[in-house]
Structure 1
């Protein structure tokens, strides 16, 4: 019998075909079940220290110079804990809708399979939570359950609203930083969000890793996988 249970909070960014964004990113934050209560209280305290109520939703899009101190402490807190982050990224220009196995419709499920498949310890159990996006979410949930049914370690699949989970919000922030860094790498500093640039820099200092390439497969705390289709 498993002696550890983990909650895994999954989110996706710029995954639509015509959103004019170059990368598709899927990511999760995982946390041991027995650490959830304490982490919730600590995140609540961080928000309060910066003048935000517990109901304030952490979002990458909300980062600015004004909100930077809050998000800096949140990112620092993540790296102090046993929480883990993983993301899979694909250059959308490589997706060919003429290839049946590489259409945009198919990629939603392929990406989640890649995200979850390689990091599941079969001696542990997992509760998987997805950020609900649209009215099609229940159909997507059933298909994800079908695709991942082989994995007996997964105990529960569920869609939740991002405002309901601090951990889903942290996944959004870290994933947003990866996506932002990839998009603005070759741009000038003019017009860039200084708060967001600082958050990217903080993540790089914590990880001591470039954010534009695949990490070692064994990387546990902060794991990136860039999928090459060509």
Structure 2
């Protein structure tokens, strides 16, 4: 293991309820951070978990069910037992006043990405940022992110990745989905409620408010415009 390997991290970014008129109150953008020296080993362990549960296809929050609960429980516990970290920024979209200059939905979308990526980076390390392809606007979004953060020498690479290609991207989707579900007041899907309980137990508290900035394992930042 080289020194460079120890100081290089891959950020697998995903987003939820990011569209302006999707009927959802909160927009969330987050990532799972994986040390480059751990990628190969963790990928193999995640593959082993899936094969143990005979899972084919993607592991996503939208696919959580009672029969699949043991798989998703094991995935979450593996995350919390590993050196992987999670960070998300959340905004209540009802607070966005698009009549104000610089306060459009798109403005906040990119501000959230800036908050997500910049404020927890160690500028002496190297980061590779992978973004999930969501829609036809994805390439324009990536170009603007590169422009916003071009001065940040710690970011070595921006790249798109389809979620079905990455177990880590799917893990980000799972955790973001759980947070969004909790923020909506949960629901009647018992398997999802139990997964939220697992996360809150591992975090020693509810996931509906910001964590201390110093929190590294599971970091949440709620942007308050009031």
The one-character-per-residue Cα deviations of 1:42-83 (angstroms, maximum 9, x if unpaired) are 000100111114xx2110000011110000000000001000
Counterpart position of 1:14: 17
* Residue 109 (structure 2) pairs with residue 108 (structure 1): yes
Looking at structure 2, the residues matched to 140 and 89 of structure 1 have their Cα atoms a distance apart, in angstroms, of 18
Shift, 1:209, TM fit = 2.1
Q: Secondary structure at the match of 1:184?
A: coil
Counterpart position of 2:207: 211
* Residue 30 (structure 2) pairs with residue 39 (structure 1): no
Q: Secondary structure at the match of 2:159?
A: strand
Counterpart position of 1:68: 69
* Residue 158 (structure 2) pairs with residue 162 (structure 1): no
Q: Which runs of 5+ in 1 are unaligned?
A: 186-190
1:196 maps to which of 163, 187, 192: 192
Q: Which runs of 4+ in 1 moved over 3 A?
A: none
Looking at structure 1, the residues matched to 175 and 64 of structure 2 have their Cα atoms a distance apart, in angstroms, of 12
Looking at structure 2, the residues matched to 159 and 40 of structure 1 have their Cα atoms a distance apart, in angstroms, of 18
Using structure 1 for the length normalisation, give the TM-score. 0.94
1:70-149 matches, cutoff 5 A: 70-149=71-150
Cα RMSD of the aligned pairs, angstroms, is: 1.2
Looking at structure 2, the residues matched to 99 and 23 of structure 1 have their Cα atoms a distance apart, in angstroms, of 20
Larger CA deviation: 114-123 vs 69-78: 114-123
2:221 maps to which of 219, 222, 225: 225
Q: Secondary structure at the match of 1:102?
A: coil
Q: Secondary structure at the match of 1:218?
A: coil
